[in-house]
Homo-oligomer: A and B are copies of this chain.
């Protein structure tokens, strides 16, 4: 983590991927992020993947570096404590991030603002029309599943979801960005605001940014699947002699020249170029000729092991990479190890010791500090009530007894 956002405090009421990721992104840059949850845990406290003992690797992954408060917001006292925490006085305070329904009731912007006029509240919702939506139901609406997978435009396409929850991930980073933009504005003008973003808008905006809307409206074309090919350029997957897979991609003239030179396939591919009447100096023509270009490269790869290909390509201008399963990634790729400063090993209580990424951003003005683990549910309840809300030990004891707060709580 870094200390670049030190002094910023965000209170978070969240679940699932996007909103927890947004808060974690800020925590990894040094913000003090307090996530509050029901005293038996929120809806994602037990989410898969889990360990053999039922502990959630999901929770541990998406809440690193936060403090955790377990509190019953169903009780008036719980709500009052949370309201005080969210609206606390102080320059970097008064920032509330949530992906829960917060358009009415005590968690709404209008209610909270009564206690702190310059409150910043960032509310991530599912769908811009107010309906519920998650990554998978947004993804299916945004066109990509019909062009993903091995379908190549013949026959009616079958939808293939990407497994990466890409829209959630993007929404999380956008949420962090929204917090910083709003905090900058408050710093300059003194004004708070309600900031809203919808997961569906995240997806549709990106779809439009990447040209898919224009293809329909301007070119009157509905993009067809092209398997693993890189649309509009040259990129394809190949199997090696030892049954591994790699991807080769060409997005510059230099990469193309280097590929031909390194494989020695210049003449063979030049003959294809002449036969097809294409100009492979042009990126679009390389895409058009993808099937034919791939034939000699496919043969070339099938005659070599991955290690041999690696030796041939390394140090050249060929842009390529081996496919790896998650296990192979950990076993083979030094970029996913402690030799990469982004990664550290740390101990997550109840789970064990494993490799944990910090922020992917390196700030030159700061030393990178080791990542911090995820909290146990309610691990910081007493600390927050005492230090942040100024409650006495006896008051905390009473709140615990009446079930308003708890923690640390075993969640399995």
B251 and A16: CB pair below 8 A? yes
We find that the number of chain A residues with CB closer than 8 angstroms to chain B is 152
Least distance between A98 CB and chain B CB atoms (Å): 15
Q: Which residue of B lies closest to A329 (CB)?
A: B143
A115 within 8 Å of B by Cβ?
A: no
A270 CB-CB contact with B under 8 Å: no
Query: Is there an interface contact between A160 and B149, defined as CB atoms closer than 8 Å?
Result: yes
**Contact assessment for B326 and A136 in the assembled complex, using a CB-CB cutoff below 8 Å:** no
Residue numbers in B under 8 Å from A245 (CB-CB)? 140, 158-159
What residues of chain B lie closer than 8 Å to A290, measured between beta carbons? none
Q: Which of B144, B156, B222 contacts A243 (CB 8 A)?
A: B156
Q: List 19 A-B pairs, Cβ < 8 Å.
A: A4-B182, A25-B177, A48-B231, A51-B218, A57-B218, A61-B208, A140-B323, A141-B333, A142-B324, A150-B158, A157-B325, A164-B210, A193-B366, A198-B360, A201-B357, A204-B360, A205-B342, A208-B357, A223-B326
Are A218 and B355 CB-contacts (below 8 A) given A143-B325, A195-B362?
no
Asked if A191 is at the interface (CB within 8 A of a chain B CB), the reply is yes
A354's closest neighbor in chain B, by CB?
B217
Given A141-B322, A207-B329, A214-B351, decide whether A194 and B364 contact each other with a Cβ distance below 8 A.
yes
* Least Cβ–Cβ distance between A273 and chain B, in angstroms: 18
5 new A-B contacts, CB < 8 A, other than A4-B181, A160-B160, A184-B184, are A61-B209, A61-B211, A62-B210, A132-B319, A208-B357
Give the distance to chain B from A152, nearest Cβ to Cβ, in Å.
12
Bound CA span A388–B240, Å:
54
**A39 within 8 A of partner (CB):** no
Asked if B361 and A181 make an inter-chain contact with CB atoms under 8 angstroms apart, the answer reads yes
A341 closest partner in B (C-beta): B128
Of the candidates B137, B247, B333, B359, the one whose C-beta lies within 8 Å of that of A136 is: B247
CA distance in complex: A199, B222 (Å): 29
Contact A251 to B134, CB < 8 A, known contacts A57-B214, A357-B204, A365-B191:
yes
Tell me what chain A mostly uses at the interface: helix, strand, loop, or mixed: mixed
A-B pairs with the 4 shortest C-beta distances?
Answer: A48-B232, A137-B321, A193-B365, A162-B162
Bound Cα distance A243, B146 (Å): 14
Residues of B contacting A249 in the complex (Cβ-Cβ under 8 angstroms): 134, 136-137
* Chain B residues, CB < 8 A from A269: none
In this assembly, does A50 line the interface, its C-beta being within 8 Å of a C-beta of chain B? yes
Q: Decide yes or no whether A233 CB sits under 8 A from chain B.
A: yes
B128 touches A342 (CB 8 A): yes
With CB as the reference atom, state the residue of chain B lying closest to A60. Answer: B214
Interfacial chain B residues near A251, Cβ < 8 Å: 16, 43, 134
CB distance from A126 to the nearest CB of B (A): 8
CB pair A174 B174 closer than 8 Å:
no
Chain B nearest CB from A285 CB (Å) reads 11
Answer yes or no: A5 CB below 8 A from chain B CBs.
Answer: yes
**Stretch from A76-84, A165-173, A394-402, A403-411 forming part of the interface with B:** A165-173
- Fill in one digit per residue for A225-262: 1 if any B CB lies within 8 Å of its CB, else 0: 10010111101010000010111010110010000000
Nearest B residue to A25, CB-CB = B177
- B residues less than 8 Å from A40 (CB atoms): none
Output the least CB separation between A306 and chain B (Å): 12
Cross-interface CB contact of A212 among B51, B319, B326, B334, cutoff 8 Å: B326
C-alpha spacing A321/B359, complex, angstroms: 33
Q: Does A71 contact B (CB under 8 A)?
A: no
Whole-angstrom distance between the Cβ of A111 and the nearest chain B Cβ: 15
For the complex, what is the distance from the CA of A184 to the CA of B184, rounded to whole Å? 7
Q: Would A325 and B222 be within 8 Å (CB), given that A128-B340, A185-B365 are in contact?
A: yes
Which residues on the B side are within 8 Å of A197 (C-beta)? 360-362
- Residue from the list B181, B323, B361 in contact with A178, Cβ < 8 A: B361
B residues in contact with A209, CB < 8 Å: 21, 24, 61-62, 64, 357
Q: What's the least CB distance linking A394 to chain B, in Å? A: 37
